[in-house]
Amino acid sequence: MSGHTEAATGLVFHELSHEWGHGVPSLPGFPDVTLYRSVKHAQHGVMAHRIKTVLHTGTHLNAPLHLIQKAIGVGELAMERLFGNGVILSIPKGQWELVTAADLEPHADRILPGALVIIVTGWHEKYSESLEYFGDAPGLSVDAAEWLVEKDVGLVGVDTPQVDHPLATSLGPNRGGPTMNRLTQKYIDETGKDPKQEHPVWNGAHKVLLAAGIPTIEQVGGDVNDVLGKEALIHALPHWKFDGGDACPVRLVAINDPGGKNRIEPGNTD
């Protein structure tokens, strides 16, 4: 098993984030990350970087404010939604498939109220600056999002570029799109289906989750294969306490015990 083992406790820390920085894959329609050193060791004896970025780049957390007007921002999220007991679900999906409520139902007994749920389709393996990664990805169905809301989960993370099916986003012919010019015709040619009929609701699954106050994480990656199917402590605190922020890069970490036990125990309510 890979990961970093903490000597004193034996807990193993697993990286679930893609690397972030200059040249990382960026969602079509969004500018690339611009990063440069404003001062440098050779010249100034110190180094400091400046960045210009869309916050929805790489492994990032979305606050309800992202899609819900007047909702709370990143810095206003309750911390217990971003650190606590969770589960990493393996639900393999291929090109343009949907994760549905029926896919989640077999895992129902493992998803307790407040759980931080990471859904892994295997699409993180394709992480790249490509039509395939962004345009051919699977996504969550609206009924899957509604199922997760009914389970009262604390957070939902996915290893896909976005929560929804790409044809349900602005990548396709939905609101503001298409930002991937070839995607709509490719979908029609390969499926024989009309994307506007198949995916008529813009970001429907994502809006259901955020409207319920459930933050989301997109583009989960790193060493997530090492913890598939496992329970773990999930650390998903964003890099910045950004009150009023719609999103923020996040260093996503799963922490588990090699013995299979979770180290945060429920409190005594007696």
Domains identified in the chain and CATH numbers: 4-27+55-256 (3.50.30.50)
**Sheet strands (E) in the chain:** 4-5, 12-15, 34-39, 48-52, 60-62, 83-90, 98-99, 116-120, 139-140, 155-158, 216-218, 231-235, 247-249, 253-256
pTM: 0.93
pLDDT > 90 fraction of the chain, expressed in percent and rounded: 85
pLDDT in tens, 115-173: 999 999 999 999 999 999 999 999 999 999 999 999 999 999 999 999 999 999 999 99
pLDDT in tens, 54-67: 999 999 999 999 99
Confidence at residue 210, expressed as pLDDT on a 0 to 100 scale: 98
Query: Looking at the predicted structure, is the pLDDT value of residue 68 above 70?
Result: yes
Query: Looking at the predicted structure, is the pLDDT value of residue 1 above 70?
Result: no
Confidence at residue 206, expressed as pLDDT on a 0 to 100 scale: 98
Confidence at residue 264, expressed as pLDDT on a 0 to 100 scale: 56
Query: Per-residue confidence at 30, pLDDT binned at 50, 70, 90?
Result: very high
The residue type of 62 is N
